[in-house]
């Protein structure tokens, strides 16, 4: 902000308050239409436009996560019997702090009462829209457009989407019934392959985190690699046989329709600032479907605590998947936010050559970024602390 003060002095603020709509620590972020306009075709203008788009995406996402997390924490607290006055009327950190303190107390009380607990989860599934990322790169660094088709890799996952040609890899479709391949979701009956996630029954093997990683005699929540003898509720994934009417995963002989990446998108060699700005948009717009979370309770030696234990287990299974889904985005979001804060002064300085509207936009974004970073940092700490409260063995 110190770097922006000389720029702010250039603005006739009283005559253009609409350019600064949304600035302030309490109001929602609302970039004025002029901040989404055309700043020109030069290299500086394209980089500045990418910066504005990236900061807007980051700030809007931070606001959204902050509001959603505060609502989830309030819901969890009420599930545990807390009143609104006990939760307090403060911000997200205060409300979540009160709810988490109650959860820690309840879990500790159950353990004292000789209730046996085990926390099991299935991981959220996160996806990034490839077309949005490609368009960002194209607009920011026109040199790679001139050199030909932009090839973007998907690392640590696979490309997925509709395929009007031949599908190379696997094909998945939503099902409520038999599945001859891998069942992603809930496999009722038994899973003869490997159940990765939660097994309501006897599990043949577990991983280091206590999740089921073997055959499950019971209901498998997560992924059953093969041999789902009962009903599959979720997605059935089979080896592709040329055509795929559902979601093609891996490769398609023609362009994917509405492609997404289940891992990390890697662009070709582009300017560092373009990659950083587009990565911020990618992370901000990432979509994560919650997995499941179960606090498994054995109150056979503590009958008096059994009813309370079930209440707490229900609250955890209802709220924790949402907290974990948000948490899965926060490490990358925090890292990209730090880059945005670090580079904002440079873009603000470059805005002076693009006109007063650009300077006003840079001032607005720079004023909002620190608050958004605080929201993301709070959300990150909340997600970590809630996980620590229930991860008991």
pLDDT in tens, 134-158: 889 888 887 766 555 667 889 988 9
Going by pLDDT thresholds of 50, 70 and 90, the confidence category of residue 256 is very high
Q: What is the pLDDT of residue 304?
A: 86
pLDDT, residue 31, reads 47
pLDDT category of residue 42 using cuts at 50, 70 and 90 = confident
pLDDT for 196 beyond 60: yes
Higher pLDDT, 49 or 228: 228
Is the pLDDT confidence value at 13 over 80?
Answer: no
Q: Tokens 């299974």: give the residue.
A: 317
- The β-bridge partners of 170 are 239, 249
Taking residues 77-104, what's their average pLDDT?
93
- Domain check: are 8 and 116 in the same one? yes
Residues 198 and 304 in one domain: no
Asked if residue 3 has pLDDT above 80, the reply is no
Residue at 278 is within a domain: no
- Tally of domains within the chain: 2
Boundary residue ending a domain (261, 292, 309): 261
Per-residue pLDDT band for 43 (boundaries 50, 70, 90) equals confident
**Residues 271-284: what's their mean pLDDT?**
91
Q: What is each CA distance from 6 to 2, 3, 41, 313, 342, in whole angstroms?
A: 8, 7, 26, 56, 18
Query: In terms of Cα–Cα distance, which of 118, 115, 120, 117 is closest to 300?
Result: 115
What is the percent of the chain where pLDDT is above 90?
52
Q: Are residues 53 and 163 in the same domain?
A: no
Q: Supply the range of the domain harboring residue 100.
A: 2-123+284-390
Which of 261, 293, 312 is at the close of a domain?
A: 261
Residue 28 belongs to a domain: yes
Res 341: pLDDT: 87
Domain match, 108 and 207 both: no
Give yes or no: residues 91 and 8 share one domain. Answer: yes
Residues 331 and 239 in one domain: no
- Within this chain, do residues 207 and 246 fall inside the same structural domain, yes or no? yes
22 pLDDT more than 50:
no
Query: Three-class SS string for the chain?
Result: CHHHHHHHCCCCHHHCHHHHCCCCCCCCCCCCHHHHCCCCCCHHHHHHHHHHHHHHHHHHHHHHHHHHHHHHHHHHHHHCCCCHHHHCCCCHHHHHHHHHHHHHHHHHHHHHCCCEEEEEECCCEEEEEHHHHHHHHHHHCHHHHHCCCCCCEEECCCEEEECCCCEEEEEEEEEEECCCCEEEEEECCCEEEEEEEEEEEEECCECCCCCEEEEEEEEEEEEECCCECCCEEEEEEEECEEECCCEEEEEECCCCEEEEECCEEECCCCCHHHHHHHHHHHHHCCEEECCCEEEEEECCCCHHHHHHHHHHHHHHHHHHHHHHHHHHHHHHHHHHHHHHHHHHHHHHHHHHHCCHHHHHHHHHHHHHHHHHHHHHHHHHHHHHHHHHHHCCC
Is residue 153 in a domain?
A: no
Cα atoms in the Cβ-side hemisphere of radius 13 Å centred on 389: 25
Question: Pick from 187, 186, 123: which is nearest to 157 by CA?
Answer: 123
pLDDT range class, residue 60, cuts 50, 70, 90: very high
12 and 112 inside one domain:
yes
Residues 169 and 202 in one domain: yes
**117 plus 168 within the same structural domain:** no
Q: Is residue 163 part of a domain?
A: yes
Instruction: Kindly report the average pLDDT of the chain as a whole number.
Output: 84
Q: What is the pLDDT of residue 149?
A: 60
Query: Is residue 14's pLDDT more than 50?
Result: no
pLDDT of residue 98: 95
135 found inside a domain? no
Between 20-29, 164-173, 191-200, 307-316, the lowest mean confidence (pLDDT) is in 20-29
Segment 163-185, tens digit of pLDDT = 999 999 999 999 999 999 999 99
Cβ count within 10 A of residue 89: 8
Same domain, 250 and 297: no
Are 173 and 71 members of one domain?
no
What is the token pair recorded at 265?
Answer: 């998108």
pLDDT of residue 34: 52
Q: Return the structure tokens found at 30.
A: 């609302």
């Amino acid at each position: 902000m110190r770097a922006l003060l000389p720029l702010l002095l250039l603005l006739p603020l009283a005559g253009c308050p609409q350019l600064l709509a949304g600035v302030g620590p309490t109001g929602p972020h609302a970039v004025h239409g002029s901040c989404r306009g055309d700043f020109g075709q030069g290299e500086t203008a394209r980089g500045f436009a990418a910066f504005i788009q990236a900061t807007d995406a980051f700030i809007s996402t931070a606001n959204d996560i902050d509001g959603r997390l505060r609502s989830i924490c309030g819901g969890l607290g009420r599930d545990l019997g807390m009143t609104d006055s006990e939760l307090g009327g403060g911000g997200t950190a205060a409300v979540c702090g009160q709810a988490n303190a109650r959860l820690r107390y309840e879990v500790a009380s159950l353990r004292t009462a000789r209730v046996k607990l085990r926390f099991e989860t299935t991981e959220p599934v996160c996806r990034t829209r490839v077309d949005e990322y490609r368009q960002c790169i194209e607009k920011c660094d026109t040199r790679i457009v001139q050199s030909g088709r932009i090839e973007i890799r998907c690392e640590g996952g696979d490309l997925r989407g509709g395929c009007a040609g031949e599908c190379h890899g696997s094909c998945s479709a939503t099902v409520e019934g038999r599945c001859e391949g891998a069942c992603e979701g809930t496999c009722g009956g038994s899973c003869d392959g490997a159940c990765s996630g939660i097994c309501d029954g006897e599990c043949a093997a577990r991983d280091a985190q206590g999740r089921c990683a073997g055959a499950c005699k019971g209901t498998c929540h997560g992924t059953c690699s093969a041999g789902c003898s009962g009903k599959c509720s979720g997605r059935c994934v089979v080896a592709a046989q040329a055509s795929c009417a559902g979601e093609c995963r891996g490769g398609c002989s023609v362009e994917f329709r509405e492609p997404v990446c289940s891992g990390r998108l890697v662009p070709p060699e582009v300017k560092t600032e373009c990659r950083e700005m587009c990565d911020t948009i990618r992370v901000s717009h990432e979509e994560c479907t919650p997995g499941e979370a179960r606090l498994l309770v054995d109150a056979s030696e503590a009958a008096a605590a059994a009813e309370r234990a079930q209440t707490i287990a229900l609250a955890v299974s209802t709220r924790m998947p949402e907290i974990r889904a948000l948490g899965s985005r926060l490490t990358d979001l925090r890292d990209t936010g730090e880059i945005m804060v670090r580079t904002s002064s440079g873009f603000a300085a470059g805005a002076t050559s693009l006109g007063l509207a650009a300077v006003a936009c840079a001032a607005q974004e720079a004023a909002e970024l620190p608050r958004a970073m605080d929201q993301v940092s709070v959300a990150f700490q909340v997600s970590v602390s809630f996980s620590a409260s229930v991860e008991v063995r």
